Structure 1
Amino acid sequence: MATTNLSYYDKTTIPNANNFRFGIVVSEWNPDITKNLQKGAIETLLDCGAKKENIISWEVPGSFELVYGCKKMLETLQLDAIIAIGNVIQGETKHFDFVCNGVTQGIVDLNVKYNTPIIFCVLTDNTKQQSLDRSGGKFGNKGIECAVAAIKMASLS
């Protein structure tokens, strides 16, 4: 778990995103967190040269549904990379483990099956405060970091 802000990037080390098309699938669950991650990702893509019309965002109900949302994006749109944005916070039951494991394995499976990278931007924290700290708080915004990863992965194609 990050304990420092890792969201700063040097644009000179990132490929220009001007010719890339990006998809973002964002969970509606915990919107105060997921919307901040989405905002950070979009702002970073734009800052690195992506065109607004080449960033397509879809919403799904929760993090578990990210896998299906990403799969549908892969099957219906021509994209260079997708960012899957979600948030799962530990509760009192094993539901946290099942959701985290399912989403993680689902994204891995899609990355293996398809020729378009899907970037895992799902915060899996013990407390809501930890998620807030990583979605624009004292530890930066993981959406920014995932946008940089999406650009770098898109440039491999």
Structure 2
Amino acid sequence: MNQTDIQHLSNDATPRVPSSTRIAIISANWHDDIVHQARDSATRRLIELGANVANVQNVELPGAFEIPLMAKKLAESGQFDAVIACALIVNGGIYRHEFVTTAVIDGLMRVQLDTGVPVFSVALTPLNFHDHDDHHEYFFNHFLKKGEEAANACAHTLAQHAQVAQLLAPQAA
């Protein structure tokens, strides 16, 4: 097989999401007013792309650190085609945010490699986030954009996985 056997999907043409596709969106409740912007915009975009609203499941957790384990449980269940994780991990003046960020991102990567279920991250760590009006407004709007981007990436990835599955399927004699 060579690379020309796999079609390249353009960023300009986001593929449709089959209505039967099941997607879990996990969100952390720290700064939920901001984080839910990503969750809600991802959901809206997935529905625009053809997903059935009943097949997009939202799961809320206390914080970002808990997300990888839940992503693993959802992915291993066989009930979801993809998982999207949303969190705002802030620098509270201690280095813990770096540990949490690394643990979450590494954990999400491990989930998708171990299960074969695509996992998308909108777990963002802004540099020196301060909970005042300017930062709040910026990240409130930024998470809207990032949720939509995650939904688009999800649609592209699922379409590409479907193409590869067809390419790798045994040919009928």
Q: TM-score range by the shorter chain?
A: 0.7 to 0.9
Which structure shows the higher helix fraction? 2
- Counterpart residue number, 2:27: 26
Point out the more displaced range, 38-47 or 14-23: 14-23
User: Which structure has the larger Rg?
Assistant: 2
**CA distances 1:62-104 after superposition (whole Å, capped 9, x unpaired):** 0011101101111224211110111111121111111001001
The 1:132–1:90 alpha-carbon spacing in structure 2 relative to 1, beyond 3 Å, is farther
TM-score, normalised by the number of residues in structure 1: 0.85
Per the alignment, residue 150 of structure 1 pairs with: 154
- Provide closer, same or farther for how the CA distance between residues 140 and 43 of structure 1 changes in structure 2, counting only shifts above 3 A: closer
The answer to whether the 8 A contact 2:41-2:145 is kept is: yes
1:103/1:26 CA distance change after superposition, 3 Å: same
Query: Which of structure 1's runs of 4+ aligned residues deviate more than 4 A?
Result: 128-132
SS of structure 1 residue aligned to 2:89: strand
Structure 1 match to 2:69: 68
Give ranges in structure 1 of 5+ residues lacking alignment. Answer: 1-9
Is the strand fraction higher in 1 or 2?
A: 1
Instruction: Look up the equivalent residue of 1:87 and give its one-letter code.
Output: L
TM-score of the two chains, using structure 2 as the length reference: 0.77
Identical-pair percentage? 26
1:38, 1:143 within 8 Å by CA — same for their partners in 2? yes
CA contact 1:23–1:73 (8 Å) conserved in 2: yes
In angstroms, what is the RMSD of aligned CA positions?
Answer: 2.1
